[in-house]
Each structure stands twice: as structure tokens, then as C-alpha cells.
């Protein structure tokens, strides 16, 4: 009990499910299982017994961890079901930085959201028992509540989701640059070690570039997204076909600009009664994909060669099964999330001729994807 209160910084009467869950996960699962009955009795005696459903879920989760059966996603979902733990990846593709990577602003916003959720639990707007029981309606309402808070201005005018994003852009952590450099070095190492290096399919490149020039001159989606990705909005297109194609393909992996000039993006996202445009939703997903996922997906395609299926579902599976990244084994939720992120990617690849109408990798895609990714991660002029 002393340990839980000390970690949470609260007296026993004020402990929340989240406080208890985080304390249980801070020690070996076997130790937590042994301490669980005494902790439950002590909290009940103090008048803060929580609920039987919570204690049963805690025991089941700890047993699953001890048996080596629980995934990272399982544990994260259980913590979120306490009703006061922010969702790491929201349906609107907002991603909280890992706890040890949060800057001052992200840490502040995270703590403010926890406090907000605690108030909503006290007000009866969040039902933790329904969450931990897997009630889909309760989960949906929980996600919507957090999306709304993230997009609602605070009293000082800051919008949480943009305050966190601005901090990451303006004051990037050194680890971010190191991660990109590591991914680039791994990409070069893996591609150099391929048993066969792809040749440039000149005919396919010429056809794709001609089609791409026509497309980029059109209004609306996907032309406006591809122009934003490549940074072609205020400058003429390159005359060289290879330069044009690689610039756009690299931009899909690392967009150069956005569409914020077309309207007040903050107001658009804050209006949860409306829907994101296809352009904004696409760019949001492109910017959410991690270096490790790009590396795993593109190098897998490079190894397999033209003719391999490169659908969003297949990309998610290739990434999950990759030996080139340090990601933990993916669960069903992780696969679904990755598939969702790569759905617009594969769609845009189709306009570039990277995949054909059946979402199968083409010789042009086999040749160009690694080069495009290398360009996206390299310093200008490198």
C-alpha cells in the first residue's frame, strides 16, 4: 500500500484504478500477483475498494503477463480501461510520445488530460467497468471524449494536440535525428546486400512520369496531396523524369508541406462534428508512420521483388514479421492500425506506378522505392 501511494503521490482514499494498475506493472508480475489480495483488502478497509471487475481484470492481466501470453497491446488496453489513462494512438491518429520521450509541453498536456478524465469518472461520464469488460459503446465514447479534449482550446488558448505537435517540431529530441540516421544506414546496408540490384525500367519510368505530370496539373485529390508531399505547390515541376518521380515518391514517405494554406487547420480539426477532408486525413496518416515501419516495409518489398502483393494488409503483415526492426511482436490491433496507415500510401503508390491495379509491386516500384526512401531520409544535397 505504501508503495502504491508513494508512486501516485496520493493518500489511499484518493487512489484511482490507474494508480493501482501502474504500480502493479512497476514490479515483477509474480510479486504483484502475491501482493494483490492484501492490497485489495487494505484498500477496501480504507474505504476505497474500487470494484470486483477491476480486481478480476488485474489478476487476469498479471497472470497473462506471468505466463508470457500478454502482448504490449493487451497491457496498454488494460491500462486504458482504467478510465483515466490517455489512449496512446487515438482514432484521429494523434500519438502521445513515450513517457521517457515527452518534453515539458507533452508532459503537461498528458497530466491535464489525466486530470480531466478523473473528473469525468467522478461525474459518471466514464464507466471503467464497461471499458474493462470490452463494451464497444463505452470504448467509443471514451475515445471520442479524448479526441474532443485534444482539439478543444485550453483557457490559455493552446489546443493540446497542436501544442504537443509544435513542441516536437520546434524542439525535436536528439533521438529523433538519431533514429532517422540509423534507419538510413540500415536501408543502405540492406539494399547493398541484395543478391540482385534492380535495373531502372526506363519505359515504365517515362510512362509513369508522363501520367504524373498530367495528374499534378489537376485540381483536388490526389494531385493536391502529391504536390504537397513533393513541395511542388509554389515551384515548377522538374524537367527530368527521374527527378520528378523520385521527388514525389520520397514525399509520400516524408511530406515536405501540408495544405494549411487552404484554410484554418486548427478550426477544422477542432470541429469534431465535421469530418477531416480526404487530403488532411491522408497527410495525417503519412506523417504518423514511423521510420521502423517504412524501413521494414520497403526492405521487405526490395527483397521479394516485383510481382509481390503490396496491399495495405500485406504491408502490415510484412512489417510485423520483419527482422530488420526492433518493434515488439504485433497484435491484431497493431496490424489493423498499420494497415489503416498504409491504406493511403498504397493508393498513392498506384498513381506513381509503384503498384499496379491489383496492388502488386511493379519493376518501377522495386527499383524506385528504396531510392525514394533514401532521398526522404538524406540531408539536402547528400
Give domain status of residue 11, yes or no.
yes
pTM above 0.75, yes or no: no
Range of the domain at 67: 2-167
- Is it the case that residue 274 has pLDDT exceeding 90? no
- The reply to whether 357 and 272 lie within a common domain is yes
Give domain status of residue 113, yes or no.
yes
Q: In degrees rounded to 5, what are phi and psi of residue 83?
A: 95, -10
Tens of pLDDT, residues 38-79: 999 999 999 998 999 999 999 999 999 999 898 988 999 999
- The reply to whether 178 and 158 lie within a common domain is no
Average confidence score pLDDT of the chain: 88
- The reply to whether 184 and 332 lie within a common domain is yes
- The reply to whether 274 and 150 lie within a common domain is no
- The reply to whether 116 and 180 lie within a common domain is no
Q: How many domains does the chain have?
A: 2
Give domain status of residue 382, yes or no.
no
Give domain status of residue 291, yes or no.
yes
- The reply to whether 152 and 223 lie within a common domain is no
pLDDT score recorded for residue 42: 92
- The reply to whether 182 and 158 lie within a common domain is no
Give domain status of residue 298, yes or no.
yes
pLDDT score recorded for residue 262: 44
- The reply to whether 77 and 158 lie within a common domain is yes
The answer to whether the beta carbons of residues 74 and 81 sit under 8 Å apart is no
Tens of pLDDT, residues 128-173: 999 999 999 999 999 999 999 999 999 999 999 999 988 877 654 4
When pLDDT is averaged across residues 5-12 and rounded to a whole number, the result is 90
- The reply to whether 203 and 352 lie within a common domain is yes
Separation CA 167–CA 103 (nearest Å):
7
Q: Is 95 helix (H, G, I), strand (E, B) or coil?
A: strand
Amino acid at each position: 500500500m505504501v508503495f502504491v501511494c508513494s508512486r501516485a503521490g496520493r493518500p489511499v482514499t484518493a487512489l484511482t484504478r490507474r494508480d493501482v494498475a501502474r504500480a502493479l506493472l512497476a514490479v515483477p508480475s509474480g510479486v504483484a500477483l502475491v501482493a494483490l489480495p492484501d492490497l485489495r483488502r487494505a484498500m477496501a478497509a480504507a474505504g476505497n475498494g474500487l470494484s470486483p471487475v477491476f480486481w478480476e481484470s488485474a489478476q487476469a492481466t498479471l497472470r497473462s503477463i506471468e505466463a508470457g501470453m500478454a502482448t504490449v497491446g493487451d497491457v496498454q488496453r488494460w491500462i486504458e480501461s482504467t478510465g483515466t489513462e490517455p489512449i496512446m494512438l487515438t482514432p484521429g491518429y494523434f500519438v502521445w510520445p513515450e513517457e521517457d520521450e515527452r518534453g515539458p509541453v507533452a508532459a503537461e498536456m498528458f497530466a491535464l488530460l489525466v486530470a480531466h478524465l478523473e473528473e469525468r469518472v467522478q461525474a459518471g461520464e466514464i464507466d471503467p467497468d464497461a471499458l474493462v469488460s470490452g463494451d464497444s459503446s463505452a470504448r467509443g465514447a471514451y475515445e471520442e471524449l479524448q479526441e474532443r479534449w485534444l482539439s478543444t482550446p485550453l483557457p490559455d488558448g493552446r489546443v493540446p494536440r497542436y501544442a504537443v505537435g509544435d513542441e516536437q517540431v520546434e524542439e525535436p529530441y536528439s533521438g529523433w535525428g538519431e533514429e532517422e540516421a540509423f534507419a538510413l544506414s540500415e536501408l543502405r546496408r540492406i539494399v547493398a546486400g541484395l543478391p540482385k540490384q534492380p535495373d531502372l525500367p526506363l519505359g515504365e519510368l517515362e510512362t509513369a512520369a508522363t501520367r504524373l505530370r498530367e495528374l499534378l496539373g489537376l485540381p483536388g485529390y490526389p494531385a493536391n496531396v502529391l504536390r504537397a508531399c513533393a513541395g511542388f505547390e509554389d515551384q515548377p515541376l522538374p524537367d527530368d523524369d527521374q527527378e520528378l518521380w523520385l521527388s514525389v515518391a520520397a514525399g509520400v514517405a516524408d511530406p515536405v508541406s501540408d495544405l494549411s494554406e487552404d484554410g484554418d487547420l486548427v478550426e477544422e480539426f477542432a470541429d469534431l462534428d465535421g469530418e477531416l477532408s480526404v487530403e488532411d486525413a491522408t497527410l495525417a496518416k503519412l506523417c504518423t508512420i514511423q521510420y521502423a515501419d517504412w524501413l521494414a516495409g520497403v526492405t521487405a518489398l526490395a527483397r521479394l521483388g516485383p510481382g509481390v502483393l503490396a496491399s495495405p494488409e500485406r504491408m502490415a503483415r510484412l512489417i510485423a514479421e520483419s527482422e530488420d526492426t526492433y518493434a515488439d511482436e504485433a497484435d491484431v490491433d497493431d496490424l489493423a492500425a498499420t494497415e489503416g496507415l498504409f491504406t493511403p500510401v498504397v493508393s498513392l503508390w498506384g498513381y506513381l506506378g509503384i503498384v499496379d491495379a491489383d496492388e502488386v509491386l511493379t519493376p518501377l516500384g522495386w527499383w524506385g522505392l528504396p531510392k525514394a526512401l533514401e532521398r526522404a531520409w538524406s540531408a539536402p544535397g547528400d
